[in-house]
Amino acid sequence: MTDKSSEKNITVNRKAQHEYFILQRFEAGIVLLGSEVKSARQNKVSLVDSYAVVENGEVWLYNTNIALYDQASINNHDTVRKRKLLLNKSEIRKLIKGTAEKGNTIIPLRVYFKEGKVKVEIGLATGKKKYDKREDIAKRDFNRELQRRLK
């Protein structure tokens, strides 16, 4: 398992746990430009509506918004361009096999720094139905009430 002490979260996809069942998690590197890394250091990354797709044996991240870096000159980046994720062939094969099943998708769960490099935790996920979401909310409320009474 990874050592969490050397990791610094940039952003977390909070809706992912609510909207999806996470079947499997992967750690991927991401190909970024210099101005994108500097924006990431300022925590200006948004994973809202982001998803990943396997195309021609490569994994690409779509709709991830990395804000413009203020100090960058004319060489600034496009904020929502597609970005390549770096994974092993075996991991890519698992993602291809997983997304071949109906209803499965690849979503980014969080973006973080690990040993100075930007990493993306992606998850092979399947969407939750409305009743699954209600069930989760009921469990969370029950546990919260239980904790209150134990205090």
Identify whether 1 is part of a domain: no
CA dihedral sign, ordered 10, 20, 55, 25: positive
Identify whether 3 is part of a domain: no
Share of the chain above pLDDT 70, in %: 97
| DSSP 8-class letter at 130 | H
pLDDT band at 34, cuts 50/70/90? Answer: confident
Identify whether 84 is part of a domain: yes
Share of the chain above pLDDT 90, in %: 27
Instruction: Tell me the pLDDT tens digit for each residue of 48-99.
Output: 888 899 999 899 999 988 888 877 777 777 778 899 999 999 999 999 998 8
Q: Hey, which bits of 3-102 come out as E strands?
A: 7-12, 20-30, 45-46, 51-55, 58-62, 65-66, 83-86
Render the burial of 135-148: b for 16+ CB within 10 Å, e for the rest: eeeeeeeeeeeeee
Identify whether 96 is part of a domain: yes
Distances (CA, A) of 67 to 42, 43, 57, 108: 10, 9, 28, 17
CATH number at residue 111: 2.40.280.10
The domain containing residue 32 runs over which residues? 8-150
| DSSP 8-class letter at 31 | -
CA 122 to CA 95: how far, in whole Å?
Answer: 10
Identify whether 124 is part of a domain: yes
Instruction: Tell me the pLDDT tens digit for each residue of 96-147.
Output: 998 888 888 999 999 999 988 899 999 998 888 887 788 888 888 898 998 8
pLDDT of residue 3: 59
CA nearest to 111, candidates 29, 55, 34: 29
Into how many domains does the chain fold?
1
Identify whether 2 is part of a domain: no
Identify whether 130 is part of a domain: yes
pLDDT of residue 48: 87
Identify whether 41 is part of a domain: yes
